[in-house]
Amino acid sequence: MDSWPVNWEALDALIIDFAKSENLIEDSSPPSSPSLTSSYHSRLIIRQIRWSLEVGNIDAAIDILRAHAPFVLEDHRLLFRLQKLKFIELLRKGTRDDRIFAIDYLRKSLAPCALNAYPEAYEEFKHVLLAFIYDKDDQTSPVANEWAEKRRYEIAGLVSSVLRAHFHAYNPIFSMALRYLMSIHKGFCLRQGLVLPISNLTERLLLEERDFPALPPESLYEAQVFDEVDIQALAHAVELTRQGAIDSLRFAKGDLFQAFQVNEICRMRLDDAMLDELVREYCVYRGIVEPGMQTSSEPLKVNPPESGCCSSLDSSIDVDHSTAKHSNSETSALTDLSSMQGIDVELRFASEPTNNLEDCSPSGSHQSEISSLLRNRSKGAGERSKHKRWRGRHDDLDFISGVHFNRDGKQEGVECTSAEDKYEIVLQMKELASRGMAAEVVEEISTLDPDFFVQNPVLLFQLKQVEFLKLVGLGDHSGALRVACSHLGPLAARDPNLLKPLKETLLSLLRPNEEALVTGLPLHALATSLQVAFGKRLGIEEPQLMRIMRATLHTHSEWFKLQMCKDRFESLLRIDSLKENNTPVLTSLATSKSNIDSCTLGSSQATISSTTGVSDDSSSTNQASSQDAICDENAILKVMEFLALPRADAIHLLAQYNGNAETVIQQIFA
């Protein structure tokens, strides 16, 4: 069972929407948000420009900008930076002809632009001239930073930020929510001094570097007044200085949510290849896409990105840039090279604990018997037609040197049938459980693996609860009592923790024929719990994305308890829907019997049971309300602003001085 509840149905919907929006699956239906459909082409253009700049092809980037975003070239501040980068790239080539062309380009383009770009531009122009006499490999030269390849990534990030803001190129909600949750998770762990196993994965997924903030148009530099509440909310949500938050709001013309989504969240960098592989793994596990879609001949290990590197794949794959073809189509190689898919990213990091399956996994002849039953059971299933096909981010992978792909979507020389059979049977059990067919689930699983429910008595109790309530709802009291006598009673006798839910279950006999007894049960949550447990029994690892979401949603709740306020952006990113408590009300004991997830915090103050999903928010709200009675919101903001403190620290200080902000500030400075 999950130690921290997540609404997996809500997550499924967000991930399907993400996959559709990024064109990762073959599906004719559009994503739920029309804005994502319209921004897909804009995101592709931004990727093309980013990739061109990151590989040093400045002319290609300028050509794309001229065709799709000429306003960038009309901004002399951006144009000067692009031209300075082009000058360095000409010198980097090192040939006599390129050096002559660099001098000509300097005279005709760079120098005139430097005069009109911004006040410091001409000094920067004179400084970059030193690149003529200092070698690119001289790390002690005064222009070492100009020669550094990280400069490409800085300019690429700056231009990307400007384009995103101009085009309103929203990323899918799931992608933005994941960035936000992992950022808060990192901050929470640092503040609490926690080192979590899941952090190794999140640190690789959420890159350290961020894109540079977009430059507001010069016309927006005039003084504008913004609500201090908005300034502080934005600054603390995405770790900005106060001035940075003001600049972001200025660019968004005071729209807090646009500044948060487009300007700031999208500046956070994800390893796109790793994210897509995590999503693919989750989709296979949940039955959204076909299993066995292993598309590379051998796995590639994701290494931590170097400073300024746009993708961790850069250090794992040698790309033959000379064979990359420019294309205006949405599946252009230029567009997607920096976020390649179809590569089996090795995500099972050595430092992460893996689930120990030795005690519960079938072995020997028992394993062979289960495999045979799986094959026979899956032949007539007819479920695969429901699955969508994983497409990945591009169609043509031939230009990738050293990596060969099989077009049918399966690994050459690898037998996938057994694994696919296991996925199918687990998904069938999940489907039956979600439809309330508990008796059929117990019968099927007991046939496949007679020992499963012996080692998972809580799951058996939960399924029998469903069967009992279903019979009560149908008016079959004698059948319900047989289930209680045969299964629920003996299970509760062996485990005292089951006595209370048994009593609550028997109370349903007082309310016969109520449809709510069946329809009101959160069967999807039970189905997911069954899927995780039975999948592990068959050797199917829980998707790493499940671990990430479970841990980050929990730390998000804990973080805002510390902040003593509600998150203003959680509805915008659907985080509230992901936290909706869909844990079975009759299985509150699950936490006491479940193995704690591998990402457990190991800290009593940061651990909650699966029954507190709803009460957490209310307790947080009540706590904030009690503090508000002591501290006025303006006082809180004043202390936060003057002392540059987090909200929680400001509230604690105010509580010590009866909510008087002036007294707090005087005492600190005294």
Q: In this predicted structure, what is the pLDDT of residue 291?
A: 74
Cβ 400 vs Cβ 313: under 8 Å: no
Dist CA 73 CA 18 (whole Å): 32
One-letter identity of residue 117: A
Q: Name the DSSP class of 207.
A: E
Coil, strand or helix at 584: coil
Please answer whether residues 293 and 390 qualify as being in contact, where contact means their C-beta atoms are separated by less than 8 angstroms. yes
Q: How many CA atoms lie within 13 A of 477 on its CB side?
A: 9
- Give the model's pLDDT for residue 646: 76
* 52 phi, psi to nearest 5 deg: -60, -45
Chain centroid, CA 219 distance in Å? 36
Interatomic CA distance for residues 425 and 430, integer angstroms: 9
Q: What are phi and psi of 329, to 5 degrees?
A: -75, 160
**What are the distances in angstroms from CA 443 to CA 109, 482, 529, 539, 540?**
77, 16, 17, 21, 21
Look at residue 507 in the predicted model and tell me its pLDDT: 83
- Determine the longest span between alpha carbons in the chain, in angstroms: 95
Query: Are 630 and 658 within 8 A, CB to CB?
Result: yes
**Structure tokens that stand for 203 in this block:** 């640190």
Distances (CA, A) of 381 to 279, 375, 534: 25, 10, 18
DSSP 8-class letter at 408: T
Encoded amino acid at 20, one letter: K
Place of tokens 């299933």: 381
pLDDT, one tens digit per residue, over 486-533 is 999 999 999 999 999 888 888 888 765 555 455 456 788 889 999 999
**Residues composing the chain:** 670
* Helix (H/G/I), strand (E/B), else coil: 583: coil
Look-up of token digits 């008016």: 475
In the 8-state DSSP scheme, what is residue 367?
A: H
How many other CB atoms are there within 10 angstroms of residue 34's CB atom? 9
Nearest Cα to 289, choosing from 376, 218, 373, 390?
A: 390
Cα 225 to Cα 219, 231, 257, distances in angstroms: 15, 10, 17
Angle at 440 between CA 438 and CA 441, to 5 degrees: 65
Handedness of CA 213, 216, 222, 226 (dihedral sign): negative
Look at residue 452 and give its three-state secondary structure. Answer: helix
Bridge partners (DSSP) of residue 346 are 301
Give the model's pLDDT for residue 582.
Answer: 55
Phi then psi for residue 317, to 5 deg, are -130, 135
- Determine the Cα–Cα distance for residues 148 and 128; give it in Å rounded to an integer: 12
Contact 221, 571 (CB under 8 A): no
Determine contact, residues 570/617, Cβ cutoff 8 Å.
no
List the chain residues with pLDDT less than 70. 1-3, 28, 30-38, 217-224, 292-386, 394-419, 511-521, 581-631, 670
Q: What are residue 77's phi and psi, to 5 degrees?
A: -65, -45
At 551, list the tokens.
């841990």
d(CA 583, CA 7): 8
CA distance 670 to 668: 5
On the CB side of 482, CA atoms within 13 Å amount to: 7
Rounded to the nearest 10°, the torsion over CA 444, 448, 450, 455 is -90
Parallel, antiparallel, or unpaired: how do β-strands 389-390 and 268-270 relate?
A: unpaired
Task: Give 268's contacts (C-beta < 8 A, 6+ positions apart).
Answer: 179, 183, 206, 207, 210, 238
Under 8 Å between Cβ of 36 and 172: yes
**How much is the pLDDT for 170?**
80
Q: In whole angstroms, what separates CA 260 from the centre of its chain?
A: 16
Rounded to the nearest 10 degrees, how much is the dihedral formed by the CA atoms of 623, 629, 631, 635? 120
